[in-house]
């Protein structure tokens, strides 16, 4: 589950999940849900393998989302499905999607960067995971 929240001139993403791989996958969906009007219009036509390593979980989440946002800006790729595996501070993922098709994809807004401001990844008392990320718009 994810939701957005306003943060000054930026956009906040709040993500909840039962485990860490699901949290990272849902964060990817949250990011692209903020980019494209209807994420269901993004077909899993091609896939990209990603490997990311960081010292801490919050840095890993930021780097993961920054890599996905880079792929959107550099390659005009939209992603809608994510298979994520975590081993320590190493993320291995398959992202599935397709290039932007102006006939089918309505781009809601250009996201500029994933920030460190307000970045949190925390396990909740009930065992679920919660993350908050601020994205420059």
The predicted structure's pLDDT at residue 89: 85
pTM confidence score = 0.93
CA atoms of 109 and 107, how far apart (whole Å): 6
Give the chain's domain count.
Answer: 1
The predicted structure's pLDDT at residue 110: 82
CA atoms of 34 and 48, how far apart (whole Å): 20
CATH classification of the domain holding 31: 3.55.10.10
The predicted structure's pLDDT at residue 49: 98
CA atoms of 129 and 16, how far apart (whole Å): 6
Using alpha carbons, select from 18, 8, 4, 32 the residue that is nearest to residue 133. 4
Beta strands in the chain (DSSP E): 2-7, 10-17, 46-53, 77-87, 90-99, 113-114, 120-123, 129-136
Residue range(s) defining the domain that contains residue 46: 2-136
Please report how many Cα atoms fall inside a 13 Å half-sphere around the Cα of residue 60, on the Cβ side: 25
pLDDT tens digit at each of 137 positions of the chain: 766 656 566 889 999 999 999 999 999 999 999 999 999 999 999 999 999 999 999 999 999 999 999 999 999 999 999 999 999 889 999 999 999 999 999 998 789 999 999 899 999 999 999 999 999 98
């Amino acid at each position: 589950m994810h939701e957005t929240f306003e943060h000054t001139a930026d956009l906040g993403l709040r993500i909840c999940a039962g485990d860490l791989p699901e949290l990272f996958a849902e964060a990817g969906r949250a990011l692209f849900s903020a980019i494209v009007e209807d994420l269901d219009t993004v077909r899993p036509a091609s896939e990209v393998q990603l490997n990311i390593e960081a010292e801490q979980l919050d840095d890993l989440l930021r780097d993961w989302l920054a890599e996905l946002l880079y792929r959107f800006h550099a390659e005009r790729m939209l992603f809608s499905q994510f298979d994520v595996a975590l081993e320590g501070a190493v993320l291995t993922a398959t992202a599935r999607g397709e290039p932007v098709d102006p006939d089918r994809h309505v781009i809601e807004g250009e996201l500029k960067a994933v920030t460190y401001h307000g970045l949190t990844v925390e396990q909740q008392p009930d065992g679920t995971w919660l993350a908050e990320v601020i994205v420059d718009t």
